[in-house]
Amino acid sequence: MNAVFKALSDPTRRRVLELLRDRPMTAGDLADHFPVSKPTMSAHFAVLREADLVDVQKIGKAVIYRLKLSVLEDALLGFVGAFNVGAAPRPAPPESALPFAIKTPPFAIKKGAT
């Protein structure tokens, strides 16, 4: 799961996943969408493979990549799901619930200093 977030930390890799969202694509077709060399793209693919975010299928000379949507789902929703996402936003937690006192700073009370 750490690997997934690592993989998602690069914009190029995120866009690869978005391209793969629509359809499986070959390595070459994917590479055509980015202004970097093929070996560089290959390295990005390796990171995505490492994170188990894509499936690979070799057909003839081509290598076809497929998005593993469930892995992306599990990682992202699993993380964000630990937060109370979607729950009603707590308007303003009563400061009595805070683990520290929000002491009104004394300087705000120095009323004697006119």
Question: What does the binding site for a copy of itself look like in residue numbers (CB under 8 A)?
Answer: 2, 5-6, 8-9, 11, 14, 17-18, 21, 23-26, 29, 59-60, 62, 64, 67, 69, 72-73, 76-77, 79-80, 82-85, 89, 93, 97-100, 102-103, 105
Is the Cβ of residue 42 or residue 81 nearer to a copy of itself in the bound state?
81
Is residue 83 classed as helix, strand or coil in its secondary structure? coil
Side by side, the strands of the sheet bearing 54-59 are 25-26, 62-67, 54-59
Structure tokens at 42: 């290959």
Cβ–Cβ under 8 Å, residues 20 and 66: yes
Is the Cβ of residue 44 or residue 68 nearer to DNA in the bound state?
44
Alpha helices (H) in 1-114, listed in sequence order? 2-8, 11-22, 27-31, 38-50, 69-81
Does residue 57 bind DNA (CB under 7 A)?
no
Q: Choose which of 22, 23, 39, 112 interacts with DNA (CB under 7 A).
A: 39
- Of residues 83 through 112, those in contact with DNA by CB under 7 A are 103, 105-107
